Amino acid sequence: MSIDLPDEYQANQTGTGICSSPPDDQASRPLTAGRKRGRNLGLGSRNLTRAGKTCAHQSGKAFATRGTLAERWSVFAKWLEQTQGGKRMEDINRDHVMAYGQALKARVERDELKASTAQLYVSAVNSIMTSATQGEWQTVSPTRDCGIPKRRYIPETSKAMPQAQHDQLQACIDDERIVALLNLQRTLGLRFKESALLDAQKALGQAHRENRITVFSGTKGGKRRHVLVSTEAMAALETAASLQDGRLMIPANLRYVDFRDHCYRQAQQLQFQFHGQRHNYAQQRYQALTGVPAPINTDIAKSAWPAYMAMQLHIDESTAEKLDQRARRILSQELGHERLEVVCLYWLNRSRRWPTTMSAKAPKPIAACRSAG
């Protein structure tokens, strides 16, 4: 059995059941109530999902972080009940969480889930259980205990959505609101959640006044940032604002989770990832800031990049290095990342040499496109 959740969140448990005879150590035994009394370690709810959400909101973390923890805990709680029959925090042990991690690992191996996403979901369970047990929980390592691959900050190939694929998607997708989200992500570098929670009408007014917008809803850690508005972004905002029927880009009659699930089902059906738009933004923005293509779209060796920039721009290597660093800092702010090594994943490559072609990767065919003929 698998959980009926969108592709990013569904945890398929095939081949990852709990051993019938767990090792006889404290870490593998169910938690006892200890100092707390009452179901779900005294968190005030008999429902496992609600108890975890209560714990998340009592954690003292940033508001956006609490919401994210609660959302990820609910995925685990549903998986636990449907695959292991667990309904109480007292019964959860490390074997359950490791099995959950192995289910996520299986989806990573099938390219249905990013390794970084799988790690975050296991980490969320650790956070809730550590808080609920007042520090008695023994943390499960997503990589060491579950076998989930380590995060790779620098990809081996470009993940940007080519223009041809973007154009084809716009013709294939029936929901014009999803098309609007794709254009917001592509022209402003927004994450999916940021685009869905955007008040496009208010942002459009700010764009006309200041030539920039402030992004704050759905950001990581609740940190706001400013993004400059290009001509293309202005057009995307105008279209989005015309479709908006509430305070946000989410239809007025839907909750965020329901709208997200609807959008992710479309993405799964047509075999694309929303995040490819954000990668495209970063690569195009890097070229606009430096005057040279993003490194991942060239055949230049990493060690030769400063010399290549200097030659293309007719400047010395020292100036080229400073220009490259400046572009990275600006993109770090515009994309909402604090660490430059994370930002680099949008345009750099892990290997000693970047891809051998100067052209963008050929667009992937869109599946099940009714308008394709």
DSSP per residue over 152-167, as a string? -SS-SS--PPPHHHHH
pLDDT value of residue 2: 38
Q: What is the CA radius of gyration of the chain?
A: 23
pLDDT value of residue 160: 87
Cα gap 71→50, rounded to integer Å: 10
- Spatial contact of 363 and 173, defined as CB atoms under 8 Å apart: no
Task: Look at residue 369 and tell me if it is in a domain.
Answer: no
- Work out whether the CA dihedral 346, 350, 352, 355 comes out positive or negative: negative
**Element spanning 226, H or E:** strand 225-228
Residue that the structure tokens 């990767």 belong to: 361
Quote the number of domains for the chain: 2
Residue-level pLDDT, tens digit, the chain, 373 residues: 333 343 444 434 433 333 333 344 444 444 444 444 567 776 767 788 888 888 888 777 776 678 888 899 999 999 998 888 878 888 899 999 999 999 999 888 877 788 888 999 999 999 999 988 888 899 999 999 999 988 655 556 778 888 999 999 888 998 999 999 999 999 999 999 999 999 999 999 999 999 999 999 988 778 899 999 999 999 999 999 999 998 899 999 999 989 999 999 999 889 888 988 999 999 999 999 999 998 888 888 778 889 999 999 999 999 999 999 999 899 988 988 765 555 555 555 444 444 333 333 444 445 545 433 3
pLDDT value of residue 300: 82
List the domain range (segments joined by +) for residue 170. 163-275
Cα gap 125→104, rounded to integer Å: 13
User: 128 with 187, same domain?
Assistant: no
Listed residues 245, 275, 305: the one ending a domain: 275
- Length of the chain in residues, anyone? 373
**Element spanning 212, H or E:** strand 212-215
Task: Look at residue 300 and tell me if it is in a domain.
Answer: no
Mark out the alpha helices in 148-270 (DSSP H runs): 163-172, 176-188, 192-196, 200-210, 231-243, 256-270
pLDDT value of residue 149: 87
User: 167 with 271, same domain?
Assistant: yes
Task: Look at residue 309 and tell me if it is in a domain.
Answer: no
Cα gap 53→8, rounded to integer Å: 20
User: 179 with 266, same domain?
Assistant: yes
Task: Look at residue 291 and tell me if it is in a domain.
Answer: no
User: 175 with 271, same domain?
Assistant: yes
User: 201 with 267, same domain?
Assistant: yes
pLDDT value of residue 23: 42
Listed residues 213, 241, 275: the one ending a domain: 275
Q: Which amino acid is at 15?
A: G
Task: Return the structure tokens found at 145.
Answer: 């205990």
Listed residues 213, 247, 275: the one ending a domain: 275
pLDDT value of residue 37: 52
Task: Look at residue 8 and tell me if it is in a domain.
Answer: no
User: 185 with 236, same domain?
Assistant: yes
**Which of 207, 249, 200 is closest to 228 using CA atoms?**
207
- Spatial contact of 89 and 41, defined as CB atoms under 8 Å apart: yes
User: 126 with 36, same domain?
Assistant: yes
User: 34 with 126, same domain?
Assistant: yes
User: 123 with 170, same domain?
Assistant: no
Residue that the structure tokens 């005879």 belong to: 21
Cα gap 155→347, rounded to integer Å: 8
User: 31 with 125, same domain?
Assistant: yes
Q: Model-level pTM greater than 0.75?
A: no
User: 38 with 117, same domain?
Assistant: yes
